[in-house]
A and B are shown apart, each in its own frame.
Chain A
Amino acid sequence: MIPSREKLCSRAVRFLPALVLTGLLALPSLVSAQQTGSVTGMVVDAMNGEPLSGAQISIEGTQRGALSDARGRFLILQVPVGTQTVRVTYIGFGTQTAEVNVTSGGAAEANFQLTISAVALDEVVVTGTAGAVEKRKVGSSMATMNMEQVQDKLPIQDFGSALQARIPGVRSVGTVGGVGASRELTIRGTASFELDQRPVIYIDGIRVDGSQYEWGNVSNSGTACCSFSGGAGEDRLSDLNPSDIERVEVLKGAAAATLFGSEASNGVIQIFTKRGRSNSPPQFTANTSWGINRLRDNIQTKTYPKFRGPDGFQAWDANETLIENGLVGTMDLSAQGGGEDVTYFVSGAYNFEEGSVKPNWQKRGNLRMNLRWVASDQWTFAINSAYSRNKVLSLQSGNNWMSLLGNAVLGNPRSATEEEPYGEPWLSVSSIKQVDTYSDANRWTGGITTTYTPAPWFSNKLTFGMDNVDDQKSRLLPFGNYYTYVGTVGERNLGYRRARTLTADYLGTMTINPLFGFGQEVAFGAQGFWETSNEQMATGRGFAGPGVTTVGGAALTFAGEEFREAVNIGLFAQDRISWRDKIFATAGIRVDGNSAFGENYGLKAYPKVDVAYQATQDDYLPEVISNLKIRGALGQAGKFPGAFDQFRTFSPTTVLNDVAGVSPDNPGNADLKPETTTEIEGGFDAGLFNDKIGLSFTYYYARTRDALLEINLPPSEGFSDQRLANAGEIENKGWELSINTTPINTADFRWSVDLNMDANENKILDLGDQANWRTVQFKDGKGGFRVDSVMYLGGHEEGYPIRSQWTRMIESYDATTNEHTRTDYNVYAGPVLPTFTASLANTLTYGAFRVYALVSMEDGAIFSNGDRSYRVRQGGGDEYLSLFDFNNLDSNGNPSPTTASDSLYNYFTLYSPRDSRDHVRLREVSVSYSVPMEFTNRFGFGRTTLTLSGQNLYWWDDCNCMDPNMQYAGGSSFNQSGFLAMPQSRKFLFSVRTGFGG
């Protein structure tokens, strides 16, 4: 008899301890006695002899390996006797191998001088490939980033910053301003109307919370709180300590991320943290950075001091009075080392950062311990454990009455008073500065990975992990100050969010020896995650007086709670066939079940296939091409609906005079299925002139079917919520190009160049049968507008990009009346995401000095520049006030309006501007000096680098705004509006990196 699923499940759980026990009991029998020796050596840069730290050295065909230390040294013990192949890989350098003869108890030596290589096809990757594999064997494009090399050029405090302008197709930009606030992180455009745009994030194989939304309104009626700081929220990616990260692998699309199934259509980012070093005494690395954040002084209030309020009070310029130096301080210390079998990496870090507009700061502490135990040739165990505490005093920003900069910028200086010196439109800046808004997140991420290799051709890897985020938020509007909705009686808000993700992942791989030139690698496994999120809120409003600041001390109290839960279980299999180590063809499939799929929907299968052709050795290649891989991939990935979207539900609500009632809530859809993106991509990776120039190009075409859309139900059907349905279709296509080269590479001088470019075109192909024709207008190219119509549904226009910008534009001006007229209908303005981005990094190294600069650009995006029109309509802003007649003062001493200023006022009463986000940005600059080793050694230190750096230094734009990347809500939202947002600060740092010990 087949047991029921419940019994089966409970049996499996009961058997789990037995399984573990069986494995442990098997251990001793698996440790076999063998005659061994050791391999030692050094890895250096061939051109200048500089030691290379962190190079991966492995003994082929065994589990033995090591990382080079800060002096480039390595030692591998218990290497089986005989001739062994030692392999060294290091990102940015060519892979080398050497054969050594290992004798019993002897020490074989293998030294390596690596040369810079712009092509990294031998680099081993693991994400989405069902096991470790060299890049040259993979038919899909995958980006990798060595964090050590990034940090070497300039210190990075935030992981999101490390991703910006470095990887083609990956867009990571700060949005709302203020330290600790969210970023926009997307890969290859937008593939969903309704769901989160962020790629899924893994750390060492464990799925983690990478969210950045402003949680808050958790009660049904929305009264239990608010948006704490204006809609952006904190970014959970900023919990990470960038110094803990060894490398990052990025899967950009469905073709590469198929094996991640129903969560991967936005791409996958996997972070690998640092590991210990075998046979190495503790080696310490210390980093410290100190400096300031300072906003660029381009706030539109420079004319304000020329105006006076009704009482004669001279208005203030926010550039002079709000921009301050925000202190930045970072310290981190790590130790790497280990014995033959057990290695460790431990680290601790503290980061303090103040915003340039205060109050706003972030304090973050991180602890990490990574252990790895090679129990035998068959068994290894890795344990990762990381704790962080990330406390942010959030800046009041975004679409928010209390937006600090917004109140200073959108006011009217002619109404300035001593209490409201900027002529604040809603709340005085001094009152806002007294609001304390905290987020205090405690986070633990950890897991255990067991690798069992019963035979060289067969391995099993099992990973269990958990990510737990406890975020407590609080906000106090103190008694006595006036706040919108609250008055002067004060309010206290408390929030608690626990987000927990459990990951279980099994991977089996089998390698079959080549026969007649054909090799085969078979992989299979299962992957599951269980994520829950529980948010609780409490609000107390109305204190009797100052002194009491607790929720319970208020006259009115409200509470709310929100819970979400999603479970995904997937099975996958993959077969990679190779021919003469030149052609690699991979076919795979992933089958998912997910708790968010509708009741009527079953499992979802995602197939993939990719082909890679390594043409290096072919004679027909012209001499200029030293290395060439041609690749192509076709695959699917999905995105599951919201946790409870499928259910038809009624919500509890307080009705009448505080009576419990219910109300129709979600109409539900039992047929809900995941959004499915099918992507085809092709390209090549080439090395030119003996791999001095690396060239990588990818073209992709992705079509997302069954995209979720909110369908309006007829009101007479009762439900006010829209019905989610798989009705839409979206297209993303584009290309990515990266060129890296070292044009000059001598012992004393090196010049490296990295150029990245990408283009993306997003289009809505279908809005389903609920879409209706809507009359719109287009620019006719002759200065006028033509009337047309488009299919429209819920804020989307078929044939145009998702959330493209439309507005009624000014079509004429009558000089006699000094008034404008606007179009009758919305006019297409453009897409919300850039259609082209590029970045150019140059690194010049001369002896001990290094100069680095990164310039980036974005082109094609349009945003709603609400601040611009708003401040004019309020009677403020330099754009408007600078048109006044400063020689013609009114009775209050204020300059007088002119025909031009009146015209502009009229213009913006009719036009909600859509401006361009196009810009070029000097994003990063650094100057480094490596202190001579003979000097540092005297004090017991190793390689020591002093760095002066600046980030986000300057930008050239045409946006009529403070920063074209401004956005008031979090990066995952579709609120592509600069309204009330704040630009990112410039950052200036002095840093010291040094190593000691070992």
Chain B
Amino acid sequence: MSENRRFLRGSLLGAFALWGLAGCGDLLEVQDPQRYTSEDLDQALQAVADGVEGDLYSSHDNVVMYATLGSDEFQHTGTWWDWDDLDHGRWKYDLGGATNTGYMRARWFARDTQERVKNVLGESEAMSSPLMAQVMTVEAWSDLLNAEMFCEAPAVASGPAITDDELMAIAREELTDAMSVAQASGATDYYNWALAGRARANLWLGDYSAALADARAVPDDFMHYSQYSINGSSNWMVTVATFGENTAGGVREHWWSQVDTVAEMLMDPYTGELDPRVPIHYDPGDMGVDGLTPHYSQWKYQERGSDIPLSHSGEMKLIEAEVLWRNGDLGGAMTALNYLRTRAGLTAHATDPMPDSELVFEYFMHEMFAELFVEGRRFGYLHRLGQVEEVFAAIGDPDRPLPDEIRHLGE
């Protein structure tokens, strides 16, 4: 074979290989089999709506953790410096990343899903769909929780920040809209959840009569949880602050002497009775992650699948008690508070003679502590009621920053 022919053949082979290679452009197309595209979601609206609700809950457990650590419920027992700052009221902007931002993300997803549901089902069918009731309620609750905890947030994606009061007013409107769709779609659970939320929004906004009306309209057996899966890791209260898991945070030392470690409950400060609403676990020798601090573990949530109450009838009774107290109806307030105590198996406070307003408020504050124990609300409520300084002075930490400074977290 001549050299030229060999060269020609070699060149042809090479050129053919290149041609073939260049033609295989589709080889460069890959797919991520472990993620959904936006188009995929149109085929799975229920999963998307559940994801929206789950998104709110997965944000909420962060807030519960931080709010608990920032209140008189918990203290830092680990090694994380940021948590130590939180424990001592040194809140700072960086910690906002996992808190109110989560609520805003949940809201975006809820609004995005509302558009998706409308596109897939059509406007009219969507507005009478339980799916729509679900995601609208989540949208409203995202704004509600955000306004309760933080000073300001944007009302729309990438919009300017508005005040907590302005955001709460929006939340109240959203809750009303959600109730309307829930009623039209027969989604009773979401109706009640939105109604309970509106009671809270009205209370925040100072519309006490509306708050009382909403709270009384909520069924006595109402309970709505922020739900977690045993297969997940997002219940942070459990994963980082519970016996058997990480023990970076535990019940504040102030309460230790009042814990019955055998019965694993806090004793009621007025009667010494065991209060099942405040379960606390402690075995002698239990230590926090720092290896130095005894660890008294909250025992309300014992496993990763433990749900955190987000709103319930007990809270509605507290709203009722607060509004009545504000209205000067001390008897009505005591009735509501004693209802909660007897429901928990505790002896009711005496009402003859009727306690004075200050004592009723003290009772109210403790019932609130017990009823909402480690539900992530005490921090915000202490602020709303102007009790931060007083409460922390009582537990020996009077130098904490003022509430307004604290609530600028996340700006």
* Interface pair B35/A644, CB less than 8 Å apart: yes
Extra A-B contacts (6), CB below 8 Å, given A716-B158, A873-B79: A15-B20, A19-B13, A415-B291, A528-B27, A656-B54, A716-B153
Offer 8 A-B interface pairs, CB within 8 angstroms, sorted by A.
Answer: A8-B19, A595-B30, A658-B231, A661-B52, A664-B55, A714-B157, A716-B105, A912-B81
Contacts of B227 in A (CB 8 A): 655-657
CB atoms of B20 and A665 under 8 A apart: no
Contact B105 A715 (CB under 8 A): yes
Contact of A6 among B26, B38, B81, B158 (CB under 8 A): B26
Please classify the interface of chain A as helix (H, G, I), strand (E, B), loop, or mixed, using the class held by over half of its residues: mixed
Task: Say yes or no for A46: interface residue by CB 8 A criterion.
Answer: no
Cα(A8)–Cα(B158), bound, Å:
47
Which residue in chain A gives the minimum CB-CB distance to B103? Answer: A715
What is the CB-to-nearest-CB distance from A722 to chain B, in angstroms, rounded to a whole number?
Answer: 11
What are the residues of chain A within 8 A of B385 when measuring CB–CB? Answer: none
Does A143 interact with chain B (Cβ within 8 Å)? Answer: no
- Which of the listed residues A487, A558, A643, A655 has the most CB atoms from chain B within 10 Å of its own CB? A655
Complex Cα spacing A219 to B93, Å: 30
Which stretch (B43-51, B211-219, B316-324) binds chain A? B43-51
Q: Which residues of A contact B50 (CB under 8 A)?
A: 655-656, 659-661
B269 interface residue per 8 A CB criterion: no
**Distance in angstroms between the alpha carbons of A460 and B50 in the assembled complex:** 59
- Across the interface, which residues of A come within 8 angstroms of B159, CB to CB? 716
> Are A874 and B291 touching (Cβ within 8 A)?
yes
**Cβ < 8 Å to B, chain A residues 404-426:** 411-412, 415, 423-426
Q: State whether A487 and B244 are in contact (beta carbons under 8 Å apart), knowing that A5-B25, A648-B37 are contacts in the complex.
A: yes
User: B77 to nearest A CB, angstroms?
Assistant: 12
A45–chain B nearest beta-carbon distance, Å: 42
Please report whether the interface of chain B is mostly helix, strand, loop or mixed according to DSSP: helix
Q: A719 contacts which of B19, B105, B158, B230 (Cβ < 8 Å)? A: B105
Which single member of A30, A644, A655 contacts B51 (CB below 8 Å)? A655
Give the residues from 923 to 948 in chain A that come closer than 8 angstroms, CB to CB, to chain B.
none
Whether B154 sits at the interface, judged by CB under 8 Å, is yes
In contact, B105 and A569 (Cβ under 8 angstroms): no
Q: With the chains together, A653 CA to B53 CA distance in Å?
A: 12
Q: How long is the Cα–Cα vector from A656 to B233 in the complex, in angstroms?
A: 12
B262 is an interface residue with CB less than 8 A from chain A: no
Pick from B1-9, B329-337, B353-361 the stretch touching chain A: B1-9
B36 with A720: CB separation less than 8 A: no
Complex interface: stretch among A65-73, A450-458, A827-835, A888-896:
A450-458
Q: Which residues 154-181 of B have a CB within 8 angstroms of A?
A: 154, 156-159
- Cβ 8 A contact of B36, one of A23, A649, A714: A649
The reply on A984 being an interface residue by CB < 8 A is no
B-chain residues with CB within 8 Å of residue A565 when the two chains form the complex: 30
Q: Which residue of A lies closest to B35 (CB)?
A: A649
Report A494-547 residues with CB < 8 Å from chain B CB: 504, 506, 508, 524, 526, 528, 530
Structural contact, A662 and B48, CB atoms closer than 8 A: yes
Task: Give the CA-CA distance A595 to B31 in the complex, in Å.
Answer: 9
Task: Give A460 to B231 CA distance when docked, in angstroms.
Answer: 56
Is residue A864 within 8 Å, beta carbon to beta carbon, of the partner chain?
A: no
> Given A454-B9, A655-B54, A716-B157, do A526 and B291 touch, yes or no (CB 8 Å)?
no
Quick one: which of A29, A569, A649 contacts B27, CB cutoff 8 A? A569
Pick the contact of B233 from A221, A486, A652 — CB < 8 Å?
A: A221
Q: A563-B34, A649-B32, A649-B35 are in contact. Are A455 and B51 (CB under 8 A)?
A: no
Among A610-660, those with CB < 8 Å from B are: 643-644, 647-660
Chain A residues with Cβ under 8 A from B154's Cβ? 714, 716
Q: Answer whether residue B403 sits at the interface, using C-beta atoms and an 8 A cutoff.
A: no
Contact with B along A434-464 (1 / 0, CB 8 A): 0000000000000000001011001010100
Query: With A715-B105, A716-B154, A718-B108 given, is the CB distance from A412 to B23 under 8 Å?
Result: no
- The distance from the CB of B64 to the nearest CB of chain A, in whole angstroms, is 17
Q: How far is the CB of A315 from chain B (nearest CB, A)?
A: 14
- Chain A nearest Cβ from B299, distance in angstroms: 14
Residues of B within 8 A of A660 (CB): 47, 50
Q: Which 4 A-B pairs have the closest CB atoms?
A: A655-B54, A12-B20, A8-B23, A718-B108
Are A653 and B19 touching (Cβ within 8 A)? no
Which residues of chain A are near B38, meaning CB under 8 Å? 648, 650
Q: Are A644 and B32 in contact (CB under 8 A)?
A: yes
Residues of chain A within 8 A (CB-CB) of B18 are 506, 526, 571
Are A595 and B245 neighbours in the complex by a CB distance under 8 Å?
A: no
Partner among B25, B54, B156 whose Cβ is within 8 Å of the Cβ of A661: B54
**Contact (Cβ within 8 A) A223 B16:** no
Provide the residues of chain B in CB contact with A563, threshold 8 Å: 32-34
Interface residue? B342 (CB, 8 A): no
Within 8 A of B (CB), among A708-735: 714-720
> Does any Cβ of B come within 8 Å of A562's Cβ?
yes
Q: Are B13 and A649 within 8 A (Cβ)?
A: no
Q: Hey, what's the 0/1 contact readout for B216-260 against A, CB within 8 Å counting as 1?
A: 000000000001111111100001000011100000000000000
Interface flag for B57 (CB, 8 Å): yes
The 8 A CB mask of A477-490 against B (1 = contact, 0 = none) is 00000001111000
How far is it, in angstroms, between the C-alpha of A460 and the C-alpha of B22 when the chains are bound? 18
- In the complex, the answer to whether A654 meets B41 with C-beta atoms within 8 Å is no
CA distance A222 to B234 in the complex (A): 10
* B94-132 near A? 1/0 per residue, CB < 8 Å: 000000111011011100100000000000000000000
In angstroms, Cα B38 to Cα A563, docked, is: 20
Q: Interface on B for A, CB 8 Å cutoff?
A: 1, 3, 6-7, 9-10, 13-14, 16-30, 32-38, 40-41, 44, 47-48, 50-55, 57-58, 79, 81, 100-102, 104-105, 107-109, 112, 153-154, 156-159, 227-234, 239, 244-246, 289-292, 305, 307
The answer to whether the Cβ of A340 comes within 8 Å of any Cβ in the partner chain is no
Per the bound structure, the CA–CA distance linking A222 and B37 in Å amounts to 21
CB-based nearest B residue for A592: B28
Measured between alpha carbons, how far is A569 from B17 in the docked complex, in Å?
Answer: 13
Please, which residues of chain B bring their CB within 8 A of the CB of A458?
7, 10
Inter-chain contact A718/B112, CB cutoff 8 Å: yes
Q: How far, in angstroms, from A64 to B36 measured CA to CA in the complex?
A: 57
| Shortest Cβ gap from B180 to chain A (Å) | 24
A221 and B13 in contact (CB under 8 A), knowing A9-B23, A651-B35?
no
A573–B110 Cα distance when bound, in Å, is 53
Indicate whether A823 reaches chain B with its CB closer than 8 angstroms: no
Instruction: Known A454-B7, A662-B48; judge A717-B158 contact (CB<8 A).
Output: yes
A657 touches B34 (CB 8 A): no
Q: Are B6 and A223 in contact (CB under 8 A)?
A: no
Q: Point out the residue from B40, B153, B245 that lies within 8 Å of A485, measured CB to CB.
A: B245
Q: Which of A5, A6, A508, A716 contacts B108, CB < 8 Å?
A: A716
B292 near A460 with CB under 8 A, answer: no
Flag whether A779 is at the interface (Cβ < 8 A).
no
A26 adjacent to chain B (CB < 8 Å): yes
Contact of B229 among A562, A571, A644, A654 (CB under 8 A): A654
Interchain nearest-CB distance for B63 vs A (Å) = 13
- Report yes or no: B13 in contact with A9, Cβ–Cβ below 8 A: no
- Is the CB–CB distance between B36 and A526 below 8 Å? no
Contacts of A597 in B (CB 8 A): 28
B7 contacts across to A, CB distance below 8 A: 454-455, 458
Q: Are A593 and B28 in contact (CB under 8 A)?
A: yes
For A6, list chain B residues within 8 Å (CB): 26
Kindly identify which residue among B20, B34, B54, B153 contacts A9, using a CB–CB cutoff of 8 Å: B20
Q: Find the A residue at minimum CB distance from B81.
A: A912
**How many Å lie between the Cα of A19 and that of B307 in the bound state?**
65
A556 touches B (CB below 8 Å): yes
In the bound complex, do residue B34 and residue A661 qualify as a contact, i.e. CB atoms below 8 Å apart?
no
Chain B: CB-nearest residue to A647 = B32
Bound-state CA distance A676–B234 (Å) is: 38
Residue A142 at the chain B interface, CB threshold 8 Å: no
Least Cβ distance of B233 to chain A in Å? 5
Residues of chain A with a CB closer than 8 A to B28's CB: 567, 569, 593-595, 597
Distance to closest chain A CB from B235 (angstroms): 11
Instruction: Indicate whether A875 reaches chain B with its CB closer than 8 angstroms.
Output: yes
